[in-house]
Amino acid sequence: MFELDEVEWPGSGAAAGAAGPASIRARALRRTFKGGIEAVAGIDLSVETGEIFGFLGPNGAGKTTTVRMLCTLLPPTSGSASVAGLDVVEDAAVVRRRIGVALQEIGLDPVQTGRELLELQCGLYGIRGRRARERTGELLELVGLREAADRRTKTYSGGMKRRLDLASALVHSPDVLFLDEPTTGLDPASRITIWEEVRRINAAGATIFLTTQYLEEADQLCGRLAIIDDGRIVAEGTPERLKAEIGHDVVSVTLAGADPRRTEEALRGLAGLERVVAEPDALALYVDDGAGSVAEIVRRLDRDGLSVGAISVARPSLDDVFLKATGRRLEGHDAEQPEAVAS
Amino acid sequence: MNDVLLLGRRAVREIIRYPEATIPTLFIPLFFLAVNIGQVSKTFPSSTPFLEGQGYAAFQLPVSLMFAVATATSGLALVTEIDLGYFDKLLVAPIRRSSIIFGRLAADLVRGVATSTLVLLVGLAFGVDVRTGFPGAVVVVFLAALFGVAYAGFGILIALRTRNVQATQSSFLLFFPALFLTPNFVPFDRLSPAMETLARINPISYVIVGVRSLVIDGWDAGKIGICLLVIVVLGLALTALSLRTIARYDR
């Protein structure tokens, strides 16, 4: 759709994932709101230059509050953070020159056209006149909105708005780009378009801090990620390493009305069983050899007269990582929280 | 300064493209002007001493000008921006936060000049004769527009403090009593003692008296000076409060 080679970037040449000095660093970062609500409970983070770093968690986990602190929009209650080597509180004004931000709520002015919005954004970053018009043209091309450039943004679809918002975060070729749930609410095609754009922006040299509640997005895009839950980081590493740390296959036994306690008791002592986690209508069994355990699982259930639904075997996913770290799944996290019944 | 101009230009564009936000604010002043003239022009004929030979429209015109320019439009635009998330986009840009306020106020000045000119022209159509001539008419428009800018600070302040559309919208209701506790229908000395006391301590009275003097009496440096002083003090106070609020926004 676009060629990023044509777009100026201060750090051009830095390949995706090429680790350099830390672009983002947080130490014991904490934010408490009125009423004592602790949105972020003292997190430590280190994101290297050139990374796409994922920040994964359910709604209300503290992702957006963390991003707002790192973007200088919200001061921390305690702890410290730096972006591009600059303190987000002491050097907030300079930090703002070095970062691009696309927040969860798409920040567009509905009365302006796409072109006017980008030209204004250029002006606010000190890019004026002919250079602003050229830069606007480049960015409209980049995000595939050249045809719609002179329409008011209120007429744009959700995906177009998201892409324009992304473009507006890029006018000054930021060193660090914060994307807060950039694909929430988008259809699968628009989501893939955004993913492609994120990869290309990263390939052109920008460090990207991306929050998401989509496991696939984190898996597809991020070199490293942290999982946040209730304001705390519960796991951190590359997706591969986090999944490998589970060290087991996951056998999912759909209960289909069977009693979860009796089912769990029937399976206790299964060879290679590390732990059992109860989900709303299933048991997740973490076993050394998933495929090799299925026959024994069926035999034990038959022995105890338990009739269950489907039994499936899978390699661990990020959702399993999340489940192991928090005791519940991220996907469908609005469902009742399951209780860990065995370990 | 460049940021103020950029944001001001954008806000003016918003006014032009979103006339439904401005046109209703003109309805009330023009309605009051027409209705008040119709109702009391026989009670106060041009021979009435305080009218100095003019029709009652000349006495009412400054009140209508105040109504026309005192709107919560900027506050509403700002609170909508907060709601949509565009305000965050501006806060994270490397600009002074004050530029966001001054950009809005610059657009209010433009809107104030346009609306007060229109109301003045309607007044002229009702037979008003601005005694200070064309220069006086320009000063009338300028004072009214400046009062609109000062008053806009109130809506902006409410928008920033409450971040709530309804609260910002209803801020205009606070202006109503302030406008009626003035010599809006008759001069100070024709008001009841209690009303006169309230009107004399109400600073908006002096804005109306100052503008009215240009229309009815002629050049009166004292009245115009006090009018300008009230506008400047009101504007500085409300703008200072808005600047303080935006500087501490989420801090």
Residue A46 gets which letter from DSSP? E
Pairing of strands A249-254, A224-229: unpaired
Read off the tokens for A268: 């206790």
**Which residue segments constitute the domains of chain A, with CATH numbers given?**
4-237 (3.40.50.300), 243-342 (3.30.70.980)
DSSP count for chain A of H helices, then E strands? 11, 15
The partner residue sitting opposite A73, judged by closest CB among B14, B91, B95, is: B91
| pLDDT for A16 | 39
Tally C-beta pairs within 8 A across A and B: 72
d(CA A191, CA A211): 14
Buried b (16+ CB within 10 A) or exposed e, B41-67: eeebeeebebbeebbbbbbbbbbbbbb
Closest by Cα among B31, B29, B170 to B112 = B29
Please, which residues have CB within 8 angstroms of residue A213's CB and are 6 or more apart in sequence? A56, A57, A58, A59, A63, A181, A184, A330
- B125 vs A18, more confident: B125
CA distance B94 to chain A (A): 5
d(CA B118, CA B123): 9
d(CA A24, CA A87): 10
- A126 vs A280, more confident: A126
Segment B95-131, tens digit of pLDDT: 999 999 999 999 999 999 999 999 999 999 999 999 9
A96/B3 CB distance under 8 A: no
Select the residue from A64, A77, A111 to test the B interface by mutation, using most B Cβ atoms within 10 A: A111
CA distance A239 to chain B (A): 31
Segment B10-23, tens digit of pLDDT: 999 999 998 888 88
| pLDDT for A331 | 63
Q: Does residue A106 sit at the B interface (CB-CB below 8 Å)?
A: yes
Measured in degrees and rounded to the nearest 5, phi and psi for residue A192 equal: -65, -40
| pLDDT for A340 | 31
The partner residue sitting opposite B92, judged by closest CB among A72, A106, A110, is: A72
The ranges assigned to domains in chain B are 2-247
Q: Does residue A340 sit at the B interface (CB-CB below 8 Å)?
A: no
d(CA B176, CA B172): 7
d(CA B172, CA A26): 45
Select the residue from B2, B92, B96, B104 to test the A interface by mutation, using most A Cβ atoms within 10 A: B92
Q: What is the mean pLDDT of residues B48-57?
A: 88
Q: Is A22 helix (H, G, I), strand (E, B) or coil?
A: strand
How many percent of chain A have pLDDT more than 70? 90
The partner residue sitting opposite B88, judged by closest CB among A73, A75, A116, is: A73
d(CA B14, CA B6): 12
Segment B141-200, tens digit of pLDDT: 999 999 999 999 999 999 999 999 999 988 878 777 888 899 988 999 999 999 999 999
Closest by Cα among B19, B35, B68, B65 to B172 = B68
| pLDDT for A19 | 46
| pLDDT for A21 | 62
- Positive/negative CA dihedral, B85, B88, B94, B95: positive
Segment A124-169, tens digit of pLDDT: 999 999 999 999 999 999 888 999 999 999 999 988 999 999 999 9
pLDDT of residue A1 exceeding 70, the answer is no
Q: Does residue B14 sit at the A interface (CB-CB below 8 Å)?
A: yes
Read off the tokens for B196: 């006169």
| pLDDT for A337 | 33
Segment B88-97, tens digit of pLDDT: 999 999 999 9
> For chain A, what's the residue count?
343
What is the ipTM, given to two decimal places?
0.86
Q: Does residue B15 sit at the A interface (CB-CB below 8 Å)?
A: no
| pLDDT for B51 | 86
Q: Does residue A97 sit at the B interface (CB-CB below 8 Å)?
A: yes
Whole-prediction pTM: 0.81
| pLDDT for A281 | 86
Read off the tokens for A243: 């999944």
Q: Which residue of B has its CA nearest to A67?
A: B92
Q: Does residue B90 sit at the A interface (CB-CB below 8 Å)?
A: yes
Helix (H) or strand (E) holding A261: helix A260-267
> For chain B, what's the residue count?
251
Phi-psi sector, A306: left (phi>0), alpha (psi -120 to 50), beta: beta
